[in-house]
Protein backbone atom coordinates (compact mmCIF):
# COMPACT_ATOMS: atom_id res chain seq x y z
CA UNK A 1 0.00 0.00 0.00
CA UNK A 2 1.08 3.58 -0.64
CA UNK A 3 0.21 6.60 1.48
CA UNK A 4 0.80 9.47 -0.88
CA UNK A 5 4.33 8.89 -2.20
CA UNK A 6 5.24 6.61 0.72
CA UNK A 7 5.43 2.85 0.27
CA UNK A 8 4.23 1.41 3.58
CA UNK A 9 3.38 -2.26 2.98
CA UNK A 10 0.32 -4.00 4.38
CA UNK A 11 0.68 -3.31 8.11
CA UNK A 12 2.45 -0.67 10.20
CA UNK A 13 3.12 -0.20 13.89
CA UNK A 14 1.82 2.34 16.39
CA UNK A 15 4.20 3.46 19.15
CA UNK A 16 1.81 4.92 21.75
CA UNK A 17 2.97 2.29 24.26
CA UNK A 18 6.51 3.61 24.03
CA UNK A 19 5.45 6.83 25.74
CA UNK A 20 4.66 4.92 28.96
CA UNK A 21 1.99 6.91 30.78
CA UNK A 22 -1.26 5.14 29.97
CA UNK A 23 0.58 1.85 29.33
CA UNK A 24 2.51 -0.44 31.66
CA UNK A 25 5.44 -1.80 29.67
CA UNK A 26 8.79 -3.52 29.99
CA UNK A 27 10.86 -1.18 27.83
CA UNK A 28 13.60 -3.72 27.12
CA UNK A 29 11.01 -6.20 25.81
CA UNK A 30 9.21 -3.40 23.98
CA UNK A 31 12.41 -2.49 22.13
CA UNK A 32 13.03 -6.13 21.18
CA UNK A 33 9.49 -6.42 19.84
CA UNK A 34 9.69 -3.31 17.65
CA UNK A 35 13.17 -4.13 16.39
CA UNK A 36 12.05 -7.62 15.42
CA UNK A 37 9.02 -6.31 13.54
CA UNK A 38 11.00 -3.64 11.67
CA UNK A 39 13.68 -6.17 10.73
CA UNK A 40 11.16 -8.70 9.42
CA UNK A 41 8.96 -6.79 7.01
CA UNK A 42 7.25 -3.89 8.82
CA UNK A 43 8.25 -0.56 7.31
CA UNK A 44 5.96 2.05 8.87
CA UNK A 45 5.85 3.37 12.43
CA UNK A 46 3.56 6.03 13.88
CA UNK A 47 4.04 8.17 16.98
CA UNK A 48 2.92 11.59 18.31
CA UNK A 49 4.31 14.49 20.27
CA UNK A 50 1.87 13.88 23.15
CA UNK A 51 2.85 10.24 23.71
CA UNK A 52 4.87 10.47 26.89
CA UNK A 53 5.55 14.15 26.12
CA UNK A 54 8.02 13.20 23.40
CA UNK A 55 9.30 9.91 24.89
CA UNK A 56 7.66 7.84 22.18
CA UNK A 57 9.26 10.00 19.49
CA UNK A 58 12.66 9.51 21.14
CA UNK A 59 12.05 5.75 21.22
CA UNK A 60 11.21 5.80 17.49
CA UNK A 61 14.37 7.82 16.81
CA UNK A 62 16.47 4.97 18.20
CA UNK A 63 14.63 2.41 16.12
CA UNK A 64 15.01 4.18 12.77
CA UNK A 65 18.59 5.40 13.16
CA UNK A 66 19.96 2.50 11.10
CA UNK A 67 16.73 1.58 9.33
CA UNK A 68 16.30 4.05 6.46
CA UNK A 69 13.61 1.84 4.89
CA UNK A 70 11.13 2.65 7.71
CA UNK A 71 8.52 5.33 7.02
CA UNK A 72 8.05 7.58 10.06
CA UNK A 73 4.77 9.31 10.91
CA UNK A 74 4.07 11.60 13.82
CA UNK A 75 1.25 13.87 14.94
CA UNK A 76 0.91 17.47 16.11
CA UNK A 77 -1.36 17.71 19.15
CA UNK A 78 -4.79 19.20 18.46
CA UNK A 79 -4.21 21.89 21.10
CA UNK A 80 -1.11 23.05 19.19
CA UNK A 81 -3.14 24.24 16.22
CA UNK A 82 -1.45 27.65 16.39
CA UNK A 83 2.09 26.20 16.68
CA UNK A 84 2.16 23.52 14.01
CA UNK A 85 5.51 24.56 12.55
CA UNK A 86 7.15 24.70 15.99
CA UNK A 87 5.72 21.29 16.86
CA UNK A 88 6.92 19.84 13.56
CA UNK A 89 10.40 21.23 14.15
CA UNK A 90 10.53 19.75 17.68
CA UNK A 91 9.36 16.38 16.43
CA UNK A 92 11.92 16.32 13.64
CA UNK A 93 14.69 17.19 16.10
CA UNK A 94 13.61 14.37 18.40
CA UNK A 95 13.12 11.76 15.68
CA UNK A 96 15.62 12.83 13.04
CA UNK A 97 13.14 12.82 10.17
CA UNK A 98 9.38 12.90 9.58
CA UNK A 99 7.84 11.38 6.46
CA UNK A 100 4.17 11.93 7.33
CA UNK A 101 3.04 14.80 9.55
CA UNK A 102 -0.53 14.54 10.84
CA UNK A 103 -2.78 16.81 12.88
CA UNK A 104 -3.77 14.62 15.82
CA UNK A 105 -7.44 15.56 16.32
CA UNK A 106 -9.84 18.25 15.06
CA UNK A 107 -9.12 21.76 16.33
CA UNK A 108 -11.55 23.64 18.60
CA UNK A 109 -14.70 24.85 16.86
CA UNK A 110 -13.49 28.48 16.95
CA UNK A 111 -10.33 27.68 14.92
CA UNK A 112 -10.53 28.04 11.11
CA UNK A 113 -9.90 24.54 9.79
CA UNK A 114 -8.18 25.85 6.68
CA UNK A 115 -5.56 27.58 8.84
CA UNK A 116 -4.59 24.17 10.25
CA UNK A 117 -4.34 22.61 6.79
CA UNK A 118 -2.37 25.54 5.35
CA UNK A 119 0.12 25.31 8.24
CA UNK A 120 0.58 21.60 7.52
CA UNK A 121 1.29 22.58 3.92
CA UNK A 122 3.84 25.13 5.13
CA UNK A 123 5.57 22.36 7.09
CA UNK A 124 5.85 20.33 3.89
CA UNK A 125 7.02 23.35 1.91
CA UNK A 126 9.77 23.97 4.48
CA UNK A 127 10.95 20.36 4.20
CA UNK A 128 9.78 19.34 7.67
CA UNK A 129 7.77 16.44 6.20
CA UNK A 130 7.25 14.69 2.89
CA UNK A 131 3.48 14.21 3.21
CA UNK A 132 0.64 15.62 5.32
CA UNK A 133 -2.38 13.98 6.91
CA UNK A 134 -4.99 14.38 9.62
CA UNK A 135 -6.28 12.18 12.42
CA UNK A 136 -9.70 11.62 14.00
CA UNK A 137 -11.51 13.63 11.31
CA UNK A 138 -14.99 12.34 10.47
CA UNK A 139 -16.27 12.36 6.89
CA UNK A 140 -17.80 15.84 7.18
CA UNK A 141 -14.62 17.42 8.51
CA UNK A 142 -12.53 15.53 5.99
CA UNK A 143 -14.65 16.89 3.15
CA UNK A 144 -13.95 20.42 4.38
CA UNK A 145 -10.25 19.76 4.98
CA UNK A 146 -9.81 18.52 1.41
CA UNK A 147 -11.12 21.86 0.09
CA UNK A 148 -8.47 23.76 2.07
CA UNK A 149 -5.39 22.42 0.31
CA UNK A 150 -3.49 24.59 -2.16
CA UNK A 151 -0.20 22.88 -3.02
CA UNK A 152 -0.19 19.54 -1.19
CA UNK A 153 -2.69 16.73 -0.84
CA UNK A 154 -3.99 15.28 2.44
CA UNK A 155 -2.91 11.66 2.03
CA UNK A 156 -4.33 10.07 5.18
CA UNK A 157 -6.86 10.21 7.98
CA UNK A 158 -5.93 8.17 11.07
CA UNK A 159 -9.00 7.03 13.00
CA UNK A 160 -10.12 4.25 15.33
CA UNK A 161 -11.27 1.23 13.33
CA UNK A 162 -11.65 -2.42 14.32
CA UNK A 163 -14.35 -5.13 14.39
CA UNK A 164 -15.78 -3.61 17.58
CA UNK A 165 -15.87 -0.09 16.13
CA UNK A 166 -16.65 0.11 12.42
CA UNK A 167 -17.84 3.72 12.16
CA UNK A 168 -14.91 4.58 9.85
CA UNK A 169 -16.21 2.55 6.91
CA UNK A 170 -17.77 5.61 5.30
CA UNK A 171 -14.34 7.25 5.46
CA UNK A 172 -12.69 4.23 3.86
CA UNK A 173 -15.07 4.45 0.90
CA UNK A 174 -14.51 8.18 0.71
CA UNK A 175 -10.75 7.66 0.74
CA UNK A 176 -10.94 5.28 -2.20
CA UNK A 177 -12.74 7.94 -4.20
CA UNK A 178 -10.71 10.94 -3.02
CA UNK A 179 -7.21 9.49 -2.88
CA UNK A 180 -6.44 9.28 0.84
CA UNK A 181 -5.81 6.25 3.06
CA UNK A 182 -7.56 5.49 6.34
CA UNK A 183 -4.90 4.54 8.89
CA UNK A 184 -6.55 2.41 11.58
CA UNK A 185 -5.42 3.08 15.14
CA UNK A 186 -6.46 0.53 17.77
CA UNK A 187 -6.98 -2.02 14.96
CA UNK A 188 -7.19 -4.85 17.51
CA UNK A 189 -9.35 -2.84 19.95
CA UNK A 190 -6.36 -2.81 22.34
CA UNK A 191 -6.49 -6.61 22.31
CA UNK A 192 -10.15 -6.79 23.36
CA UNK A 193 -11.21 -8.39 20.10
CA UNK A 194 -8.69 -11.20 20.68
CA UNK A 195 -9.02 -12.33 24.29
CA UNK A 196 -11.00 -11.73 27.46
CA UNK A 197 -8.16 -11.34 29.97
CA UNK A 198 -6.42 -8.04 29.28
CA UNK A 199 -3.90 -6.05 31.28
CA UNK A 200 -5.11 -3.33 33.61
CA UNK A 201 -3.55 -0.47 31.68
CA UNK A 202 -5.38 2.88 32.07
CA UNK A 203 -5.54 3.04 28.27
CA UNK A 204 -7.84 0.01 28.33
CA UNK A 205 -9.68 0.64 31.58
CA UNK A 206 -11.42 3.78 30.31
CA UNK A 207 -12.00 2.67 26.70
CA UNK A 208 -15.68 2.14 25.83
CA UNK A 209 -14.72 0.01 22.82
CA UNK A 210 -12.83 -2.40 25.08
CA UNK A 211 -16.00 -2.74 27.15
CA UNK A 212 -17.96 -3.75 24.06
CA UNK A 213 -15.98 -6.99 24.01
CA UNK A 214 -17.73 -7.97 27.27
CA UNK A 215 -21.19 -7.89 25.65
CA UNK A 216 -22.78 -10.94 24.03
CA UNK A 217 -22.25 -9.36 20.60
CA UNK A 218 -18.61 -8.60 21.40
CA UNK A 219 -17.96 -12.14 22.56
CA UNK A 220 -19.52 -13.34 19.31
CA UNK A 221 -17.02 -11.30 17.31
CA UNK A 222 -14.06 -12.71 19.25
CA UNK A 223 -15.37 -16.27 18.86
CA UNK A 224 -15.75 -15.86 15.09
CA UNK A 225 -12.18 -14.59 14.85
CA UNK A 226 -10.85 -17.41 17.03
CA UNK A 227 -12.54 -20.06 14.88
CA UNK A 228 -11.01 -18.65 11.69
CA UNK A 229 -7.60 -18.47 13.39
CA UNK A 230 -7.82 -22.11 14.50
CA UNK A 231 -8.83 -23.24 11.01
CA UNK A 232 -5.98 -21.29 9.40
CA UNK A 233 -3.39 -22.20 12.03
CA UNK A 234 -2.55 -18.54 12.75
CA UNK A 235 -3.06 -16.11 15.61
CA UNK A 236 -6.34 -14.22 16.08
CA UNK A 237 -4.32 -10.99 15.71
CA UNK A 238 -3.22 -12.04 12.23
CA UNK A 239 -6.84 -12.75 11.27
CA UNK A 240 -8.01 -9.29 12.38
CA UNK A 241 -5.16 -7.54 10.59
CA UNK A 242 -5.86 -9.52 7.41
CA UNK A 243 -9.52 -8.43 7.76
CA UNK A 244 -8.29 -4.80 7.78
CA UNK A 245 -6.45 -5.40 4.51
CA UNK A 246 -9.61 -6.85 2.98
CA UNK A 247 -11.63 -3.83 4.15
CA UNK A 248 -9.12 -1.34 2.73
CA UNK A 249 -7.67 0.21 5.89
CA UNK A 250 -4.01 0.38 6.91
CA UNK A 251 -3.74 -0.98 10.48
CA UNK A 252 -1.05 0.14 12.93
CA UNK A 253 -1.22 -2.17 15.96
CA UNK A 254 0.97 -1.59 18.96
CA UNK A 255 3.09 -4.44 20.29
CA UNK A 256 4.52 -4.90 23.78
CA UNK A 257 6.18 -8.30 23.47
CA UNK A 258 8.18 -10.27 20.94
CA UNK A 259 5.33 -12.79 20.70
CA UNK A 260 2.89 -10.03 19.76
CA UNK A 261 5.31 -8.79 17.09
CA UNK A 262 5.51 -12.28 15.61
CA UNK A 263 1.71 -12.54 15.55
CA UNK A 264 1.44 -9.22 13.72
CA UNK A 265 3.92 -10.38 11.10
CA UNK A 266 1.80 -13.47 10.34
CA UNK A 267 -0.74 -11.15 8.73
CA UNK A 268 1.73 -10.08 6.03
CA UNK A 269 1.23 -13.40 4.25
CA UNK A 270 -2.38 -14.10 5.23
CA UNK A 271 -5.27 -13.38 2.87
CA UNK A 272 -8.78 -14.11 4.08
CA UNK A 273 -11.40 -15.62 1.82
CA UNK A 274 -14.55 -13.69 0.99
CA UNK A 275 -16.49 -16.05 3.24
CA UNK A 276 -14.14 -15.38 6.18
CA UNK A 277 -14.38 -11.62 5.73
CA UNK A 278 -18.15 -11.89 5.49
CA UNK A 279 -18.29 -13.97 8.69
CA UNK A 280 -16.41 -11.26 10.63
CA UNK A 281 -18.55 -8.54 9.04
CA UNK A 282 -21.75 -10.30 10.03
CA UNK A 283 -20.61 -10.94 13.59
CA UNK A 284 -19.50 -7.32 14.00
CA UNK A 285 -22.53 -5.73 12.30
CA UNK A 286 -23.87 -4.33 15.63
CA UNK A 287 -20.79 -2.13 15.81
CA UNK A 288 -21.09 -0.31 12.46
CA UNK A 289 -22.76 2.78 13.94
CA UNK A 290 -21.04 5.43 16.02
CA UNK A 291 -18.50 8.18 15.49
CA UNK A 292 -14.75 8.23 14.91
CA UNK A 293 -14.20 11.08 17.41
CA UNK A 294 -16.46 12.69 20.05
CA UNK A 295 -17.69 15.96 18.52
CA UNK A 296 -18.03 17.51 22.00
CA UNK A 297 -14.22 17.63 22.18
CA UNK A 298 -14.28 20.50 19.67
CA UNK A 299 -16.06 22.71 22.19
CA UNK A 300 -13.28 22.39 24.77
CA UNK A 301 -10.75 25.26 24.60
CA UNK A 302 -7.24 24.25 23.62
CA UNK A 303 -5.62 25.14 26.94
CA UNK A 304 -8.09 22.93 28.84
CA UNK A 305 -7.44 20.04 26.47
CA UNK A 306 -3.71 20.44 26.98
CA UNK A 307 -4.18 20.39 30.75
CA UNK A 308 -6.37 17.28 30.59
CA UNK A 309 -3.89 15.41 28.38
CA UNK A 310 -1.05 16.37 30.72
CA UNK A 311 -2.92 15.17 33.79
CA UNK A 312 -3.96 11.96 32.04
CA UNK A 313 -0.28 11.23 31.22
CA UNK A 314 -1.12 10.05 27.72
- Residue 314 has a pLDDT of 80
pLDDT tens profile 131-170: 999 999 999 999 999 999 999 999 999 999 999 999 999 9
H-helix segments, the chain:
27-39, 55-64, 84-95, 113-125, 139-148, 169-178, 202-205, 208-212, 216-232, 236-247, 258-266, 274-283, 302-312
- Residue 88 has a pLDDT of 98
Q: Enumerate residues 6+ apart whose C-beta is below 8 A from 215.
A: none
In this prediction, residues 193-206 reach a mean pLDDT of 68
DSSP letter at 105 equals S
Identify the band that residue 212 occupies on the pLDDT scale cut at 50, 70 and 90: confident
Identify the band that residue 81 occupies on the pLDDT scale cut at 50, 70 and 90: very high
* pLDDT at 69 > cutoff 90: yes
Quote the percentage of the chain above a pLDDT of 70. Answer: 96
- Residue 201 has a pLDDT of 64
- Residue 198 has a pLDDT of 65
- What CA–CA distance (Å, rounded) separates 163 from 187? 8
- Residue 72 has a pLDDT of 98
Report residue 28 CA to chain centroid gap: 23
- Residue 21 has a pLDDT of 76
312 vs 247, more confident: 247
Quote the percentage of the chain above a pLDDT of 90. Answer: 84
Amino acid sequence: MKIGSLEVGKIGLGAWQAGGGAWRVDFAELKRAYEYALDHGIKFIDTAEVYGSGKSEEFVAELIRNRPHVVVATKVAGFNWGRILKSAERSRRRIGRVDLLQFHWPPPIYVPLCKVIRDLEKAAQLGLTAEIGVSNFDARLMEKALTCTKKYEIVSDQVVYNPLHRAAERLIEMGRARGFVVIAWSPLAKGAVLKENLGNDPARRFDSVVNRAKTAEGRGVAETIRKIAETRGVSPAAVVLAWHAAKGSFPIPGVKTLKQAQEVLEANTLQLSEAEVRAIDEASAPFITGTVWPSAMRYIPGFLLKLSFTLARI
